[in-house]
Structure 1
């Protein structure tokens, strides 16, 4: 069960530039601490898909710097489409529902979260708490955020690189989140430009 008190403590640390509480559950499992960076430049990002999605999102921004969900055209996302996740913000950000869970992410992870909540993540609370903390931080700091994290060896994928981007509704609230998740190598090294 999701403990929003713990997640909000992680969120507050992220907003303050401190990742100690966010890293603690990873370190407790013998994993390296996750990497989280706000406003990365596209050329700082690994893989082809992450910088593609960030550039695309940046090109769609209106005069207020926002992107609306209806401006996202799936056909224009083809280079990253299988790695795209689209989430609806639920209950003022207490949870998020996967409207779209990329086919490649589902294939590689061996589960599909389409229609499910982040709190129901098949890999358990290590991943879901991490994702929820980042999403909840984005509601307060509506900017692109990059993350890298390891998962325990019993999970099919050892690490993920992600770019997470906000989408606003007509009332100026973040109503959806679009993210691109790309699996890392078995023992990846976070990109130098983004290392802690």
Structure 2
């Protein structure tokens, strides 16, 4: 069975309900200071050790509207069943099920602002998961948006067969 994402929210990030997205958003805001966005060089992944397993960092490939996963947290590997580190989104996200995932990534890049996504997912046909994600753009040294850092939370819910 293909992964399924039933998105219920795609919005500018203002209020977050889960630990990893909220802590990442707080850190991002702290690092940006008075600027619109922090740079990749402003961040230290070791500062995020408590939530690093739920964090994914993507390098933006503007010419191809693609991303390369620079860092893929271990919880994401556990949930997705694959380590995305070093891979392109075009290699991993090959079905229509991921269209809204990519839409959220590009909305954060195109608008240059944090984007919150929440909904339900079925991944690897194992569980129904409620999820919340925050996608945060990061400037490259030349001032363009060169990276996207995301924090995720997945909470198992009951399967329809269990109801």
Q: Which TM-score band applies after superposition, normalised by the shorter structure?
A: 0.7 to 0.9
**Deviation at 1:69?**
0.4
**Separation (CA, whole Å) in 1 of partners of 2:135 and 2:88:** 16
Please point out which of 96, 112, 116 is paired with 1:125: 96
Cα distance in 1 for partners of 2:58, 2:7 equals 25
Structure 1: give runs of 5+ residues left out of the alignment.
1-25, 189-196
Q: Is 1:45 aligned with 2:16?
A: yes
Equivalent position SS for 2:157: coil
Q: Which gives a bigger RCO, structure 1 or 2 (Cα 8 Å, sep 6+)?
A: 2
Q: Structure 1 or 2: larger helix share? A: 1
Aligned length: 156
Question: Secondary structure of 1:106's partner?
Answer: helix
Instruction: Give the CA RMSD over aligned residues.
Output: 2.4
Whether 1:89 and 2:60 are equivalent positions in the alignment is: yes
1:35 equivalenced with 2:9 (yes/no): yes
- Structure with greater proportional strand content: 2
Structure 1 position 130, deviation (Å): 1.5
The question of whether the paired residues in 2 share the 8 Å contact of 1:84 and 1:178 is answered with: yes
CA deviation string 1:63-98 (max 9, x = no partner): 332201011111110121001100000134611111
Matches within 5 A, 1:57-136: 57-92=28-63, 94-121=65-92, 124-127=95-98, 129-136=99-106
Q: Does the alignment pair 1:144 with 2:118?
A: no
- Inter-CA distance 99–37: structure 2 relative to 1 (3 Å threshold): same
What is the CA deviation profile of residues 35-72 of structure 1, one whole-angstrom value per residue up to 9, with x for unaligned ones? Answer: 112031xxx31221111100000000143322010111
Distance 1:54 1:73 in 2: 14
Distance in 2 separating the partners of 1:97 and 1:89: 7
Q: Calculate the TM-score normalised by the size of structure 2.
A: 0.83
CA contact (8 A) 1:86 1:177 kept: yes
TM-score by length of 1: 0.70
